[in-house]
Amino acid sequence: MILSLQSEWMSLWRNKASWAMPCLFYALVLTLMMFAIGPFDPALQAILPRLFLVAVLLAMFLQTEQLFKQDADTGYLAQYILSRLGFANAILIKLFVQFCLQALPLILIAGFAALLGNIASDVSIALLISIALSLPILFLLSAFSASLTLSLQQTGLLNAIILVPLFLPVLLFAESIVLRAQWQEPYMAYVYLLLALLLVSLCTLPFLIIRCLRMSLQ
C-alpha cells in the first residue's frame, strides 16, 4: 500500500497542471479582489471571508472534469482492476492523494490571504474552520460528478448542473459560520451541521465513486 501511495503521489506530482491550476486560480481571484476593493477599505474585511468560500467552489469546478479523465484516456484507470490492492483500495488511495495535492493547499492560501487582508483573528479562525470542513465535502462531490460523467464527452456544463445544487447547502453552512463570527455570535451549530455532512459524505460518496467508475469501465 505504501508503494502504491508513493507511486500515485509521484504520478500526480508530475502532472502539475492538474493540481496547480486550482491553486493559482484561487490565489489570483483573492489577489484581484483585494486590489479591486483596496486593502484599506472597510468593505474588504466584510466581503473577503465570503469571497474565499465562493473562490473555493469555483476552484473545485475547475478540477472536476480532469479528476479521472486523463487516467481513463491513457488506460491507467483500467489497470486498477488488476491491482493487487484491489480496485476499491486503489481508487481510495488516488482520491486521498488528489485531495492532499489539490485541496489542502487552498487552506494554506486562505490563511495567508486572511493575514494580507487584515481580517480579525476570530473571523479568520471561523473561516479556516469552514473551509477545512467544507473542502473534503466539495472534493468528494466533485469526484462523484466526475465519475458519473466519465464516459461522456464535453461534461463541463453537465458537471455544473449536477454540482451546483449539491454545493449550495455546503456553501450556505460554511458562509453562516463566517457571518456568525463577523456578527460575534455563536456558530458551533453550523460547525456541527458541516461535520454531519462531512461524515455522511465520507461514509457514502467514496463507495458511489467506486461504483460509478466500475460501471464506466465496463
pLDDT in tens, 71-103: 777 777 777 776 667 778 888 888 888 888 877
Instruction: Report the distance separating Cα 85 and Cα 81, nearest Å.
Output: 9
Domain encompassing residue 91: 2-217
For residue 147, the model assigns a pLDDT of 85
For residue 121, the model assigns a pLDDT of 83
For residue 18, the model assigns a pLDDT of 65
Selection from 143, 152, 165 nearest residue 66 by Cα: 143
List, for the chain, all residue ranges whose pLDDT scores fall below the cut of 50: none
Instruction: Report the distance separating Cα 84 and Cα 196, nearest Å.
Output: 34
Exposure b/e, 190-207, CB count within 10 A at least 16 = b: bbebbeebbeebeeebbe
For residue 197, the model assigns a pLDDT of 94
Domain count for the chain, please give it.
1
For residue 8, the model assigns a pLDDT of 65
Q: Are 130 and 195 in contact, with CB atoms under 8 Å apart? A: no
CA atoms within 13 A on the CB side of 12: 22
Instruction: Report the distance separating Cα 99 and Cα 139, nearest Å.
Output: 7
